[in-house]
Amino acid sequence: MNRRRFLASTAIPIGITTAGCSANTGQAVDLEAETERRDDDRQNETYLVYRHDGEDVRVVGFNQGSFPQSLDERFGFGMFIEYAESTTLESFRFDLRTPPTGAPADIYLASPAGGVWPALTYGRVEGDGSTRIALSDAPDVTDETVFINTIVDPQADPAERIDVDLELELNASDGSTTYRAATTTTFEPETR
């Protein structure tokens, strides 16, 4: 993959639609997130922990990959999904918006690690300025942990907060349960 062309082409605003499907015929479980934050002067991380019957089903994390001197400068922002071996990740969607009002920042997507992600959707969502990163048919290219790295490039306004709207779907390996989560949260970048 030509990285320069990939990053350059991703800055073009486009309308996006995603669809996910599942052949699971068991029960459906909607999961709620518990938010955990960690800031120990070396890291700035937020975790969404989803549990069912007292067991962690998945963890979604956000971390700041670099710390600019001001929030008007570029910085790294990473996302990851960890899930149990007893489940498979079917699909995910992240809509990112910073700042929440005003001119949206450009959010560049680094090439995903591993193999090609043919069902990847990436670009600007029409109407609200969010950047969407989504993957349908995820079982073909993911295995227990998914890492997504981006660079946030503020334009007219500082990136003091990143609004995150996400949807995830996993299936139990035995087909007995489909787990779904839809969560809206925020991440607050820091300077150093």
Q: Per residue in 128-170, pLDDT tens?
A: 899 999 998 887 777 778 889 999 999 889 999 999 999 999 9
Region 85-95: mean pLDDT is 90
Hey, what CATH topology would domain 3-13+29-187 get? Immunoglobulin-like (2.60.40)
User: Torsions phi, psi of 179, nearest 5?
Assistant: -105, 130
117 in Cβ contact with 1 (< 8 Å): no
pLDDT of residue 123 exceeding 90: yes
- What letter does residue 9 receive in the DSSP assignment? H
At 29-67, the pLDDT tens digits run 999 999 988 876 667 899 999 998 888 888 999 999 889
- Pick 22 or 86 by higher pLDDT: 86
Can you give the pTM of this predicted structure? 0.81
Region 106-116: mean pLDDT is 82
pLDDT tier, 24 (very low <50, low <70, confident <90, very high otherwise) = very low
Rounded Cα distance, 127 and 99, in Å: 15
Least confident stretch, 8-12, 96-100, 149-153, 154-158: 8-12
Two structure tokens written together for 58:
């998945």
Kindly list the strands in the beta sheet with 177-187, ordered across the sheet, starting from the edge strand earlier in the chain: 27-31, 177-187, 162-172, 87-97, 131-135, 120-124
Least confident stretch, 10-14, 17-21, 96-100, 139-143: 10-14
- Give the model's pLDDT for residue 122: 94
Average pLDDT of the chain? 82
